[in-house]
Structure 1
């Protein structure tokens, strides 16, 4: 497997709303700062979570395809390096789940 190259689209009006793009595939991953904003997961997408620089992030795919699903973790690892938190643990579930009343 070739090493994927990732690009980052940033929102100048919201410094915590980034989108990771794979240069070589159709993979796109939205980044949400859960410390600063509400997040409602899309049941048709993949969500993963991680703490970096004292903030909790949610990573959600955009129109994920089966071919791109295996690259989601490497895209998040790339982002963790980008925000200078290479040891970020990638979590499969929202760690706040136990704190939310249903």
Structure 2
């Protein structure tokens, strides 16, 4: 089975705002540290969550297509390894209390 190669675009002014890019497909995923940043989920995109190094991350696709949707978990697992936290559990829902209320 072939594996996608992922690249990371980082924001030098905000270390919690990364974008994962698949080199082999059109998949792009925004990364948010939602303990510190406001996160308003886009209902047209896929959101997944995970804790690493004491931070809660939200992962949200950018203009996701049905073909790319299958690779979202793989991209997040790659990112978890990149941040040296490969055991990150990927959660389907926001685990915060009052999760439907934007912080």
- For normalisation by structure 1, the TM-score amounts to 0.95
Cα deviation, residue 100, structure 1? 4.8
How far apart in 2 are the matches of 1:100 and 1:75?
24
Alignment-derived partner of residue 81 in structure 2: 81
Return closer, same or farther for 1:5/1:38 CA change in 2, 3 Å cut-off: same
Cα deviation, residue 2, structure 1? 1.2
SS at structure 2 position matched to 1:99 = coil
Aligned length: 101
How far apart in 2 are the matches of 1:101 and 1:32?
16
List per-residue Cα deviations over 1:15-72 (Å, max 9, x = no partner): 1100000000000000000111110000000000000000000000000000000000
Return closer, same or farther for 1:74/1:34 CA change in 2, 3 Å cut-off: same
Return closer, same or farther for 1:100/1:28 CA change in 2, 3 Å cut-off: closer
- For normalisation by structure 2, the TM-score amounts to 0.94
Alignment-derived partner of residue 99 in structure 1: 98
How far apart in 2 are the matches of 1:5 and 1:71?
11
Cα deviation, residue 88, structure 1? 0.2
RMSD: 1.2
